[in-house]
């Protein structure tokens, strides 16, 4: 390989399928850079729905630091996130609102199975994709999370963190 150069970036088609699935499901929202607290990562966010209280539902994409200024807008399809979250958080007026129509089909309907449980979260793995899905707290109504489900149901709880699994290097 060295006589022909080196690859700049590894091609990981499984990640591309997950990126495309999330982008399609949420109708490719405009995300705004809201934080660059860690020197290695930046946080983009958009608001999807506000509840009757002072809380709203947010889509959050954490990306490797891109050195764009705070307030920079970017479509989700252009963000190669390392962590994607759907969260219910206090209302913020510095992020745009985005409406989407949930889809009844697509790759995100793939099953996930619980592999770990603590007092604060349940962790799930996908057989189809290299992701870990973490559901925070308990489900609505205080009931514990189920042992199995699918990626869409997890995302719709708005208490969800999705990360890509790291390859084990020996």
Tens of pLDDT along 8-35?
556 778 899 999 999 999 999 999 999 9
Provide the pLDDT confidence category of residue 54 given band limits of 50, 70 and 90.
confident
> DSSP string covering 56-89, please?
EEEEEEEEE---PPTT-EEEGGG---SEEEEEEE
Report phi then psi at 2, rounded to 5.
-65, -30
Q: Whole-prediction pTM value?
A: 0.88
């Amino acid at each position: 390989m060295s006589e022909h150069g080196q690859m700049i970036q590894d091609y990981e088609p499984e990640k591309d399928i997950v990126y495309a699935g999330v982008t399609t499901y949420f109708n490719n929202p405009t995300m705004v850079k809201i934080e660059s607290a860690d020197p290695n990562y930046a946080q983009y966010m958009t608001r999807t729905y506000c509840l009757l209280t002072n809380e709203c539902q947010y889509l959050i994409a954490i990306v490797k630091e891109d050195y764009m200024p705070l307030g920079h807008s970017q479509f989700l399809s252009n963000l190669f996130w390392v962590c994607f979250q759907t969260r219910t958080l206090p209302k913020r007026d510095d992020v745009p609102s985005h409406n989407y129509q949930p889809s009844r089909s697509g790759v995100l309907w793939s099953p996930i199975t619980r592999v770990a449980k603590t007092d604060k979260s349940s962790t799930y793995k996908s057989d189809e994709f290299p992701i870990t899905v973490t559901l925070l707290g308990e489900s609505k109504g205080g009931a514990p999370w189920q042992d199995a489900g699918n990626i869409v149901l997890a995302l719709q709880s708005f208490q969800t963190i999705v990360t890509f699994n790291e390859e084990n290097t020996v």
